[in-house]
Amino acid sequence: MVQVCLNGRRTAADGAAVPMSPQDLARSAAEAVAAGATSVHVHPKTPCGHDSLSPRVLAPALEAIRARVPVPVGVTTGAWAEPDPSARLARVRSWSVLPDFASVNWHEPGAEEVAGHLLSVGVDVEAGIWSGTGGARRFAVSPLGPRVLRVLAEVTDPDPATAEASARELLAELGSAHGRPVLLHGEEGGTWPVLRLAGRLGLATRIGLEDTLLLPDGRRAVSNARLVAKARARYGADACAGDGNSGAEQGS
């Protein structure tokens, strides 16, 4: 599985390649799926380019993307889009058009309540566990852990020299992860080293302009589709190479 993360918290200042409007998100998603992406993660944006959990922003983005792709489409519930936990839960409860799945960051206040509501209305949950936070500890004791779709192991270390070690540390912190599948990914300079590790460990991964603006050779990525194509090639090669520690860590 290679998920495409279309835009993340980036803005128009990050370049024209980053899709913002529902129409651009749909086009970018279709191109990425054609390049091999098996699911889509998106941050719906206001006309000003801010992440939003408003149903009036979410619905047009989901409808536009679903009109173009046959794969599951998920959204963020990140606290930066609505910092107050009660207000964030109210926003999520107000959704009229539901995503197939949503990522919930377990280190954020109110995560359990948001995840619980999503599960109650049939929306799958990706448990976002960020390195360098208490997310793994909280998730380990969460009664919702066995019910999530998968664990999104997010390596926030942007240093290509240390990101792989940070990823292995995060996997160790996750332990059994309630027996749920793990999607491992990095960001910025750590994106490609962590993706290669995911390939060696046989874990799902993701790629897209949310995580990096650069191809493995350092050139600027012109699209999400280009990143997906490069990721599938790298992931496949590293999956064939394997990893001597994969047996223990795949159970993480």
Write out pLDDT tens, residues 155-166.
999 999 999 999
CB 200 within 8 A of CB 167: no
Write out pLDDT tens, residues 118-150.
999 999 999 999 999 999 999 999 999 999 999
pLDDT at 117 over 80: yes
Write out pLDDT tens, residues 230-240.
999 987 777 66
Q: What six digits make up the tokens of 109?
A: 């206040």
At residue 74 the predicted structure's pLDDT band, cuts being 50, 70 and 90, is very high
Q: How far apart are alpha carbons 2 and 207 in whole angstroms?
A: 7
Write out pLDDT tens, residues 8-35.
999 999 999 999 999 999 999 999 999 9
The count of residues in the chain is: 252
The DSSP secondary-structure symbol of 146 reads: G
CB 112 within 8 A of CB 136: no
In terms of DSSP H, where are the helices of the chain? 22-34, 55-66, 85-93, 111-120, 135-140, 163-174, 191-201, 224-241, 246-250
Mean residue pLDDT across the chain: 94
* Mean pLDDT for the stretch of residues 57-85: 98
Q: What is the pTM (predicted TM-score) of this model?
A: 0.92
At residue 251 the predicted structure's pLDDT band, cuts being 50, 70 and 90, is very low
**pLDDT of the residue at 77:** 98
pLDDT at 226 over 50: yes
